[in-house]
Amino acid sequence: MKCQKCNKPAVFHITENTDEVPVELHFCAQHAKEYLYKTTPEVEVVTEDAPVKSPTKKKKSASVQKTTEELMETDFQSCPYCGLGFQDFRKNGLLGCANDYSCFGDLLDPLLMGMHGSTEHVGKRPARLGGTQQGTILVRLRRELQDAVSIEDYEKASQLRDYIRDIELKMVH
């Protein structure tokens, strides 16, 4: 959908509830900011049929202005690893990498709670991982094994290797 004032993509969709008929407005970030901070009594909005005059309040409330500013800030946040912007996520519904969960965590938590009723995974897990705690321990031990090999502490590396092997055998059986 395009902005009603220019050809940029509309990122703000506003419904003005008037006395007669609700009016839907679609703006790019720049025109949304202009519209929400406008202090004149009415604004002209071009629709497919004809221009429509939409009454606005003399001054928008401080809470609406704050919410608008927060939305604009979050829309332009992006992941430092994959470069995905939160606006792109809102548009596509797809995250770019595992780090997006930590980058957009505060914004994703309410969405996940609404969709799934929880922010923690509660479904099935792969059998080879056993419990998540064992999987986490294995990841830590493998990292320690790599560190031991890199500093040439082969005695510690062999102990870690054997310990990892024992845990993996217990998980399979």
Predicted structure pTM score: 0.35
**Segments making up each domain of the chain, as ranges:** 1-76, 127-172
The encoded tokens of residue 85 equal 């912007």
Which pLDDT tens digit goes with each residue over 47-73? 444 454 444 444 445 555 556 666 666
pLDDT score of 71: 61
- Residues facing 27 on adjacent strands: 12
Query: pLDDT tens for residues 99-143?
Result: 888 888 888 888 777 877 777 777 766 665 555 667 778 888 999
Burial class (CB in 10 A: 0-12, 13-18, 19+), 141: middle
- Residue 58: the pLDDT is 41
Highest mean pLDDT among 14-18, 90-94, 152-156, 164-168: 152-156
What single string gives the DSSP state of each residue in 44-75?
Answer: EEE-SSSEEEEE--SS--HHHHHHHHHHHHHH
Average pLDDT of the residues of the chain: 75
Beta bridge partners of 46: 51
Helix axis angle, 154-172 to 132-150, nearest 10°: 160
